[in-house]
Amino acid sequence: MTEWATRKPAALCAMAAASMILFVHTAVVGQDPEAQVEERQDVMESFGASSKALPADGRQGSGTGGDVRRAAAVIRQGAERLPGLFPEGTGVGVGDSKALPAIWEQPEDFAERIRTLQAAAADFSSAADGGDRETIARSFAELGRACGGCHEQYRERDD
């Protein structure tokens, strides 16, 4: 039996996900600015779509713990990709970008906010794995605050 065949399925999935993230990150770096904006927006849209799993599970009592765990994993993986999704030249005016110039004018603060989001996403993922609805709800609220903290300062407002 090969070394790969003896590994646990979860470890194989984690390695596959890491490889996919590296591949996608490498692909984004080589893209034109409009394609980079589209990739960033796809990640952000996946956050919104994934976050709907918690209200279905926690508020209406429908959905499954598996739905919440999968949603949390998508959010965590997307958060891990964020540092590479804001290259210079992809701000407002490029495609449908709503990224404000402040991102590149205040890179340390922006990077800190991404780290805050990454920590909140990891906590949410851990809570989802634990399955306790109150813990999931608290960590999801913290995740929402982390998202909003960045959007308030670094994203163009919708009219």
The whole-number pLDDT of residue 12 equals 35
For 33, 67, 80, 106, the CA distances from 128, given in Å and listed in that order, are 35, 9, 17, 33
For 21, 60, 62, 87, 124, the CA distances from 67, given in Å and listed in that order, are 21, 14, 10, 32, 13
Convert the pLDDT of each residue in 46-70 to its tens digit: 998 888 766 665 555 556 788 889 9
- Both structure tokens of 94: 């490029």
Mean pLDDT of the chain: 81
The whole-number pLDDT of residue 63 equals 63
The whole-number pLDDT of residue 101 equals 97
Other beta carbons within 10 angstroms of residue 139's beta carbon come to 23
- Rounded Cα distance, 141 and 81, in Å: 21
Q: How confident is the model at residue 133 (pLDDT cuts 50, 70, 90)?
A: confident
Q: Whole-model pTM?
A: 0.76
Phi/psi of residue 76, nearest 5 degrees: -60, -45
Q: Where are the domains of the chain?
A: 33-82+91-154
In terms of Cα–Cα distance, which of 10, 143, 12 is closest to 68?
143
Residue 99 pairs in a beta bridge with: 155
Q: How confident is the model at residue 158 (pLDDT cuts 50, 70, 90)?
A: confident
Convert the pLDDT of each residue in 13-29 to its tens digit: 433 444 444 444 444 55
Average pLDDT (126-148) is 91
Q: Is CATH 1.20.120.10 the right assignment for the domain spanning 33-82+91-154?
A: yes
Average pLDDT (66-79) is 93
The whole-number pLDDT of residue 40 equals 95
